[in-house]
Amino acid sequence: NAGVTQTPKFQVLKTGQSMTLQCAQDMNHEYMSWYRQDPGMGLRLIHYSVGAGITDQGEVPNGYNVSRSTTEDFPLRLLSAAPSQTSVYFCASSRGLQTTNEKLFFGSGTQLSVL
C-alpha cells in the first residue's frame, strides 16, 4: 500500500492563479481531510470529508474548495491564490469517523508559495 499520496510536493504560484492539490489514498478510508501548517500556528483544518459526496468545513475554509467524488480522492482547489495561502498543506485520512477513535494517516505534504 502507498498510503496517502500528495502531489505536487512543491508549487510556486502567482497571486490570482488557480491550482489543485491532489490527494489519494489506497486504504479504503472513509474520512479524509486537509490541513495547512504555518510556523507557530500548528496544523489547522481546512476541509474534511466523511465519505464520497460529503464534505464539510474546518477551521480555515475560506479561499479553498473541495469535492469527494470517489472514496480514494480528495482534491483541494485554490480558485484565486493569495500570498496568505503560502503554507505547507497536508492531506490525511482515517478508517472511520473521528468519533470512533481512529488515528489519522498523513501524506508527505505540499509546500506552496504564492508570490
63 binds another protein (CB under 8 A): no
34 binds another protein (CB under 8 A): no
CA 81 to chain centre: 15
26 binds another protein (CB under 8 A): no
**Residue owning grid cell 486537509:** 34
CA 54 to chain centre: 15
- Write the CA distances from 99 to 4, 55, 86, 90, 95, integer angstroms: 21, 16, 31, 21, 11
Q: How many C-beta atoms surround the C-beta of residue 35 within 10 A?
A: 23
Q: Kindly tell me which of 41 and 115 has the beta carbon lying closer to another protein.
A: 41
Among positions 25, 33, 87, 93, the unique one binding another protein when judged by CB under 8 A: 33
Q: Kindly tell me which of 12 and 79 has the beta carbon lying closer to another protein.
A: 12
Footprint of another protein (CB under 8 A): 4, 31, 33, 35, 40-45, 48, 50, 56, 58-59, 90, 92, 97-99, 101, 103-109
